[in-house]
Amino acid sequence: MRPAVIRRVSAVLAVAAALVLLGGQSALALDEPVVPQPVAGYFASGLVPRLADLYGPGKKADSGIVFDSSSTVGTIHRVFSWTADYLAKKTTDTPMELTNNWVAAVSVKSQVAGLATVWINPASDQPELADFDLGPGLVSALAAAPKGMVLIRDDTHSAWFATDGKALVPLVSGSSGIATTTTIAAYQKTLAAVPEVTPVSTAATNEGLVIAGIVLGLVVIVLAVFVLLPDRRRRAARAGEEVATDDPDTVAEPEPVAEPEPVAEPEPAAEPEQAPEPPAKKPAAPRKPRAPRSPTPTE
């Protein structure tokens, strides 16, 4: 059966289940939804090998579960859940809806190993193992469901129920507070009301956010101008140099030659200053005349 056909069949079954629920006092039983062929085939041949891969013996001695030829899969049940309107304590004609989950007990050598949950992966449209609750506890609790009732999983309260469309039998109470058989309508009254979210005035907060946004924008602009722009110019200059160097066919345009600056005419050399004349020497004092020498006597 093709996945599209499976989805159409599931939708029809959901409508049928809702019609049964609307039957009022005469609706004393709900028919178990038909299991799609791909899901049934996975439970029959694909589930146990997958469990062996994930929960089989490990390196430590006596670890894991030996899923051998004695492994068996019990009766498959489609799981229901509460609708969003029901949990919100709204008046609704559809308090429950089908989920994309099927459960069945798995036993090894006549001993319950756990409860397997299988779903159809929306990404592949193929059934896969979604969860495996080890031990006989949950299996024994679900086995207490009266015949002719379907299973409801209440994820909000970690609880499991069985119902025929009117009576509600707690199988796993969880945090629901229900310990004895009640009705769907009575259980809805015990649910906590969903608190309404009161809008908080954020005028001052928004004003502060606007100012902070403006300041941040100015900082970004300054960074872009003083940091990023010079860096881009340097990269562009380097890229131009690489192109001019690496490509022999590219002739770099000559840089414009700067016009020579006019040469200033030399100023006339200053006339050398005349050295000061040395001071005139004072005339020497006249010498005294020597006395005439006496004549030498002759012989």
pLDDT digits (tens, 9 = 90+) for 139-176: 999 999 999 999 999 999 999 999 999 999 999 999 99
Q: Nearest 5 degrees, angle CA 240-CA 246-CA 252?
A: 50
DSSP string, 231-291: HHHHHHHHHHHHHHHH-TTPPPPPPPPPPPPPPPPPPPPPPPPPPPPPPPPPPPPPPPPPP
Least confident of 29-33, 118-122, 203-207, 209-213: 203-207
pLDDT digits (tens, 9 = 90+) for 64-85: 999 999 999 999 999 999 999 9
CA 73 to CA 132: how far, in whole Å? 13
- 86-93 long-range CB contacts below 8 Å, 24 or more apart? 86/188, 87/156, 87/191, 87/194, 88/194, 89/188, 89/189, 89/191, 89/193, 89/194, 93/18, 93/21, 93/22
Say if CB 109 and CB 74 are below 8 A apart: no
Which of the four pLDDT bands, split at 50, 70 and 90, describes residue 213?
confident
pLDDT exceeds 60 at position 263: no
Mean pLDDT of the chain: 77
Say which residue, 193 or 123, is predicted with more confidence.
123
Give the H or E element holding residue 171: strand 167-172
pLDDT exceeds 50 at position 190: yes
Residue 104 vs residues 39, 77, 160, 170, 249: alpha-carbon distances, Å: 11, 6, 14, 19, 77
Q: What is the pLDDT of residue 24?
A: 38
Which of the four pLDDT bands, split at 50, 70 and 90, describes residue 5?
very low
Say if CB 42 and CB 118 are below 8 A apart: yes
| Span 9-36, average pLDDT | 55
pLDDT digits (tens, 9 = 90+) for 31-58: 889 999 999 999 999 999 999 999 999 8
pLDDT exceeds 90 at position 203: no
